Amino acid sequence: MPDPSAASARPNLILPPVARLAEARSRVDVADIAVRLFQAQGYEATSTTQIAAAAGVSRSTFFRQFRSKDDVIFADHDELLEQIDRYFAVEHDDPWLAVCDAAALVFERFRERLEIVRVRDLLVRQTSVLRDRETVMVSRYEKIFSAYLRRSLLGVDPVIAIQFAAAVTATHNFELRRMIRAADSSQLLDTAGLAAELHAVRHRFDPSASSRTTDTVPAASELLVAVFPASALPEDVARVIEKRLRSTVI
């Protein structure tokens, strides 16, 4: 006689394919479906019931994944913050650089999902409640970055850690928004370009960075710094610089 408990012990074996697919949907999958619904119907006009139906999940499953409709649109941020937590749990030789690399990781993830990220950006700009939630989300990145630095560099000034976290986050967000909103992305930074920008931020804040790069930085006497008004003609700029360089040659 068959064991009646065997079927209940293996529920996935008796689920139809569509039900198994719905059960396997990740939070990000459901969020992407919700973003498309928001785009088609409007954020306010779309209910959690409609999102659950479109994603093929029950309302109870939806509310196990999300607390409210406001939460669903930023599901990939939650996933990324968890990934950064795991990354920071590993020991890194240079915590300043680890923060920069974590920000670059976020940038690359959004580059991979650029189409849906562009749709979401437009929705956020059009919806005040989502703009507020996005501000909260940005602050979560700053907090996790600064907390990691303070935990990893016991002698770091907390203010410096907070400022660095804010600078990294702001640089990342500026370049990300440029990419999202550009009509032509061919001239925009890729992940490697962003990493270079963030490493420049690191050198401004990391007290030991200058000592590590002394051999590669020219002496002050070998540097020429020139400031010109934006209206200056290129030939005038070149002529002044050439004259100055010639005057310093011994």
pLDDT of residue 216 exceeding 90, the answer is no
Residue 243, pLDDT score: 61
User: In CATH, what number is assigned to the domain containing residue 103?
Assistant: 1.10.357
150 and 193 co-located in one domain: yes
Q: Which residue has the higher pLDDT, 66 or 249?
A: 66
Looking at residue 34, what is its pLDDT?
93
> Quick check: 29 pLDDT over 70?
yes
Taking residues 147-160, what's their average pLDDT?
Answer: 93
The total of other beta-carbon atoms located within 10 Å of residue 197's CB is: 18
In degrees to the nearest 10, what's the CA dihedral of 146, 122, 74, 113? -90
The verdict on 127 and 197 lying in the same domain is yes
Determine, yes or no, domain membership for 2: no
Asked if the model's pLDDT at residue 94 lies above 80, the reply is: yes
Average pLDDT, the chain: 79
Q: Which of 48, 71, 94 is the last residue of a domain?
A: 71
CATH number of the domain encompassing residue 24: 1.10.10.60
Q: How confident is the model at residue 25 (pLDDT cuts 50, 70, 90)?
A: low
Give the pLDDT of residue 203. 87
* Domain match, 29 and 139 both: no
Comparison of pLDDT for 228 and 139, the residue scoring more: 139
Same domain, 148 and 243: no
Q: How many CA atoms lie within 13 A of 215 on its CB side?
A: 1
Identify whether residues 104 and 159 lie together within a single domain. Answer: yes
pLDDT number for residue 226: 54
User: Count of domains in the chain?
Assistant: 3
More confident residue, 6 or 108: 108
User: Residue 21 falls within a domain, yes or no?
Assistant: yes
pLDDT digits (tens, 9 = 90+) for 50-93: 999 999 988 888 988 888 888 888 888 989 999 999 999 999 99
The CA radius of gyration of the chain, in Å to the nearest whole number, is 25
State which of 31, 48, 71 marks the end of a domain.
71
User: 168 and 236 share a domain?
Assistant: no
Residue 5 lies in a domain: no
- Claim to verify: residue 158 and residue 224 sit in the same structural domain: no
| Domain assignment of residue 59, yes or no | yes
Least confident of 40-49, 173-182, 222-231, 237-246: 222-231
Looking at the predicted structure, is the pLDDT value of residue 212 above 70? no
Q: Considering 26, 44, 71, which residue would you say is the last residue of a domain? A: 71
User: Across residues 207-235, what is the average pLDDT?
Assistant: 51
Whether 57 and 78 map to the same domain: the answer is: no
Same-domain status, 64 and 172: no
**Cα–Cα distance between 218 and 65 in angstroms, integer?**
55
Is 80 in the same domain as 108?
Answer: yes
Element at 158 (helix H, strand E) = helix 158-181
161 and 150 in contact (C-beta within 8 Å)?
yes
Q: Answer yes or no: do 126 and 148 share one domain.
A: yes
Could you tell me if 152 and 144 are in contact, meaning their C-beta atoms sit under 8 angstroms apart?
no
Q: Are residues 233 and 183 in the same domain?
A: no
Domain that includes residue 235, residue range: 220-248
pTM: 0.70
The label of the residue with tokens 């408990």 reads: 5
The answer to which of 15-24, 179-188, 217-226 has the lowest mean pLDDT is: 15-24
Q: How confident is the model at residue 10 (pLDDT cuts 50, 70, 90)?
A: very low
* CA distance linking residue 102 with residue 168, whole number of Å: 10
